């Protein structure tokens, strides 16, 4: 690859690569990757072709102390992206974001930008970040000076075809003098009608909840496989996430253990119903705290978009009950809802599959953001 033709980007807090993959589909080339969790980075590595020297697996604060060792990978970047965990953004918190000790990763992200000075950057986070937008702008000015213009919008994944209710704070900056409103308008030209949950699930093999506790190595037709040969139903959703590629393997479609009571609850609840539904009143635990645990169980509706996929799925999928079967969603189903292509393989333990998918930015939302920015690069 010739450097002059590469739209190089760095992805910080990269996770398993959802944001990277969408930006890559828009034309950017992942060139430097930072992720602190080795298992997450293993998934990223095995789904990309970069050699090991393009990765820093570890704390970004440690990386920032050694940036002089990475000039081949961080100089002349078109884009830096990332979603630094930022705990201290509550409206009730009077301490400045930049001074809050819980926000060291946010500060480290700013420092990385100040050193690399990419042409564009993206910071994504939860909507609560919008509560601190004026402070955020000041923080970025402190680190980047007056060279950059920046701003934000709250973007909804379902507006870009993703079959999921997911809202993200997207903060974009550039040193090209391009109006942020113009960039976001370009992003929003990629809006389309969302698919619904049924579209993401149809055609996948039926599964049952695993009944053998602790037997994570058991794989069969009933509870699923880490990998198996498979012929997909090539509908509009398949083409949306996979393009024209013919994928002949099914990965990570495997169910976890559930106790008999939970399986009974799963089977009784109608679509769209939660823990307060009369169908499970006689066996519902936590009755004294129903108001708190109303969503302890929730059966998804196949004609609606899915509720937000989160990393809580690594603990249980009781809030993500399959609309047709008495079980929670499989990791592959969650990945499809996040618009990962079907040949994007998740590595590590099964619970880590859920964590990786739940932490990711929906691929097609990331692609739309990338396409909006790329318009001003090309």
Residue 59 contacts residue 36 (beta carbons within 8 Å):
yes
357 CB contacts (<8 Å, ≥6 apart)? 16, 309, 313, 331, 334, 335, 338, 340, 346
The Cα 41–Cα 333 span in angstroms is: 21
Q: Residue 93: exposed, middle, or buried by beta-carbon count in 10 A (0-12, 13-18, 19+)?
A: middle
124 within 8 A of 136, measured Cβ to Cβ: no
Contacts of 14 (CB under 8 A, 6+ apart): 20, 33, 34, 35, 40, 41, 44, 82
Positive or negative CA dihedral for 122, 44, 26, 332?
Answer: negative
Marked catalytic residue, from 16, 41, 86, 317: 86
Between helix 350-359 and helix 38-46 the angle, nearest 10°, is 80
Residue 324 and residue 139: Cα distance in Å, rounded?
A: 48
The candidate with the shortest Cα–Cα distance to 161, out of 186, 204, 201, 196, is 196
Annotation marks residue 81 as catalytic = no
Catalytic residues: 86
């Amino acid at each position: 690859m010739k450097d002059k033709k590469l739209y190089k980007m760095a992805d910080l807090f990269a996770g398993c690569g959802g944001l990277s993959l969408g930006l890559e589909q828009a034309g950017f080339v992942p060139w430097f990757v930072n992720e602190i969790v080795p298992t997450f980075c293993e998934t990223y590595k095995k789904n990309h072709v970069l050699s090991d020297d393009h990765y820093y697996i570890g704390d970004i604060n440690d990386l920032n102390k050694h940036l002089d060792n990475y000039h081949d990978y961080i100089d002349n970047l078109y884009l830096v992206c990332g979603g630094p965990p930022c705990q201290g953004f509550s409206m009730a918190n009077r301490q400045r974001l930049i001074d809050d000790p819980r926000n060291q990763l946010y500060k480290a992200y700013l420092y990385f930008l100040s050193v690399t000075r990419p042409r564009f950057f993206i910071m994504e986070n939860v909507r609560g970040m919008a509560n601190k937008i004026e402070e955020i702008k000041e923080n970025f000015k402190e680190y980047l000076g007056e060279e950059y213009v920046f701003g934000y919008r709250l973007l909804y994944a379902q507006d870009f075809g993703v079959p999921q209710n997911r809202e993200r704070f997207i903060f974009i900056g550039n040193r090209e003098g391009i109006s942020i409103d113009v960039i976001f308008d370009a992003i929003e030209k990629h809006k389309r009608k969302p698919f619904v949950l049924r579209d993401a699930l149809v055609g996948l093999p039926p599964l049952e909840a695993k009944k053998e506790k602790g037997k994570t190595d058991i794989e069969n037709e009933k509870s699923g496989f880490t990998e198996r040969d498979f012929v997909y139903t090539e509908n509009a959703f398949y083409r949306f996430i996979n393009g024209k590629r013919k994928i002949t393997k099914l990965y990570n479609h495997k169910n976890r253990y559930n106790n008999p009571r939970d399986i009974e609850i799963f089977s009784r609840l109608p679509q769209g119903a939660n823990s307060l539904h009369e169908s499970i009143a006689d066996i519902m635990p936590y009755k004294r705290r129903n108001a708190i645990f109303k969503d302890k169980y929730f059966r998804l509706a196949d004609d609606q978009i899915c509720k937000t996929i989160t990393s809580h799925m690594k603990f249980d999928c009781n809030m993500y009950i399959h609309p047709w079967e008495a079980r929670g969603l499989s990791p592959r189903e969650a990945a499809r809802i996040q618009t990962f292509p079907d040949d994007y393989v998740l590595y590590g333990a099964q619970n880590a599959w859920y964590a990786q998918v739940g932490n990711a930015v929906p691929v097609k939302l990331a692609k739309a953001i990338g396409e909006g920015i790329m318009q001003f690069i090309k």
